Amino acid sequence: MINNTDIKQVFLNKRMLICIFTGFSSGLPLYILIGLLPAWLRSEGVDLKAIGLFALIQLPFTWKFLWAPLFDRYIPPLGRRRGWLFISQIALLSSIPAFGALHPGLDLWTIAYLACVVAFFSASQDVVLDAYRRELLLDNELGLGNAIHVNAYKIASLIPGSLSLILADHLPWKSVFFITALFMLLGIVMTLFVSEPELKNGAPKTLRAAVVEPFQEFIGRNGLKSAGLVLAFIFFYKLGDSMATALATPFYLDMGFSKTEIGLIAKNAGLWPSVIGGLLGGVWMIRLGINRALWLFGLVQMVAILGFAWLAIVGHSLLWLAIAISVEALGVGLGTAAFVAFIAHTTHPLYTATQFALFTSLAAVPRTFANAATGYLVEWFGWVSFFLFCFVVAVPGMLLLLKVAPWNALQKSENA
């Protein structure tokens, strides 16, 4: 049984502080793509179907496991993790401001190509950040460390989803994208000052070993059937939530909320419930274990989708906007913290980058392919029925918990 002193020691260490920076640096470019970019396009008159199809620009998050072995095999000057982090972060800092030089009415395809470039470097950064965090944290710190990472990830959404939207009411979009990109400097500073994780067993000797051995180890450790169930769970667990939030900003705009209202209320209403829920979730995971957290937090995450359906019925109401966003943030914050901890626990330390990338790529599939259809689904169903549909889609992921994370099963990290 873990006591309060142990929990305090887990909270108050340098590794938890680093997780704040990894989360912020990871979340910023993604929320630019899924939050700020749709808001920009919608405000410039681009239709919902085209905005929905823009989800396909996130294909690099789905296929990042293909080049992840390169990050395990090759070691740049700053080290295997810090070197690749620095390269990807500099590329993001350079490419994000380029959006401001384009016009949605004239350069839509160019914007799509640029967004793919940003997504590629963002996905590459995620591969290395996930591997670095897994190698940094002790097994009994995975729950809390990943909860802090997810919270910082959420906090990063306030830059493109709140500050940038407010700035867009007062500044040209060129300045908005430039200012937003400057926040990548926080991640670059982290990369320069943290230490490189100890490489206990050395990097893979060949590129073939870096590609093949992670898959052989995962299947050999779990068996083919169990490995398939784990992969199916990773695919389905966040599917309903991902679809429900894919067009969140256009949804708010269609409900009659101004960009400033969205920036001040919709985004900030989700901050504190997300932070509190994530931190509580991390502490609860220390006591509950990852399996039970997946059950409890997943139920909250699933029910939170119904808040959007209710907001679609109520319409323009600042109170219900704040309530719906707060409940959603709490549920998703809890569910994501447990989910990321589960993925981290499933990886093997020898093949962190490749296996973590494979699992998170599967989790990104719904955000890419299913979300690309959300614009069409809204056109067919309307907002209320769309959110009810997303609620039903969340059911299979919960049912798979019976096999991959039984309520009474014990895990190594729970006894650490």
Residue 411, pLDDT score: 47
Q: C-alpha distances in angstroms, 128 versus 103, 134, 241, 338?
A: 33, 10, 25, 20
Residue 113 neighbours by CB under 8 Å, 6+ apart: none
Give the span between the Cα atoms of 179 and 148, in whole angstroms: 25
CB atoms within 10 A of CB 196: 14
What are the backbone angles phi and psi of residue 201, rounded to the nearest 5°? Answer: -110, 10
* pLDDT, position 9: 57
In sequence order, which ranges of 33-141 are alpha helices (DSSP H)?
37-43, 48-53, 59-63, 68-73, 82-95, 108-136
Provide mean pLDDT across the span 296-320: 90
Q: Could you read off the pLDDT of 127-149 as tens digits, one per residue?
A: 999 889 888 887 777 778 877 88
Residue 235's pLDDT band (boundaries 50, 70, 90)? confident
Predicted TM-score of the model (pTM):
0.71
Q: What amino acid is encoded at 75 in this protein?
A: I
Taking only the tens place, the pLDDT of each residue in 25-34 is 999 999 999 8
Mean local confidence (pLDDT), 118-125 = 94
Confidence at residue 25, expressed as pLDDT on a 0 to 100 scale: 95
Question: Which residue, among 258, 21, 281, has the nearest Cα to 149 in the 3D structure?
Answer: 21
Task: Identify the CA nearest to 347 among candidates 137, 52, 101.
Answer: 137
Q: How far is CA 343 from the centre of its chain?
A: 13
Residue type, 220: G
pLDDT at 271 over 80: no
What the block records as the tokens of 144 is 């809390």
Q: What angle do CA 27, 235, 147 make, to 5 degrees?
A: 40
- pLDDT category of residue 202 using cuts at 50, 70 and 90: low
Residue among 343, 333, 404 at smallest CA distance from 127: 343
47 pLDDT tier (thresholds 50, 70, 90): confident
- The b-or-e profile of 61-87 (16+ CB within 10 A means b, else e) is bbbbbebbbbbbbeeeeebbbbbbbbb
* Greater pLDDT, 9 or 173: 173
Q: Is the pLDDT of residue 2 over 60?
A: no
Distance CA 413, CA 269 (A): 33
CA distance linking residue 197 with residue 392, whole number of Å: 42
246, 55 in Cβ contact below 8 A? yes
Measured between alpha carbons, how far is 409 from 396 in angstroms, rounded to an integer? 20
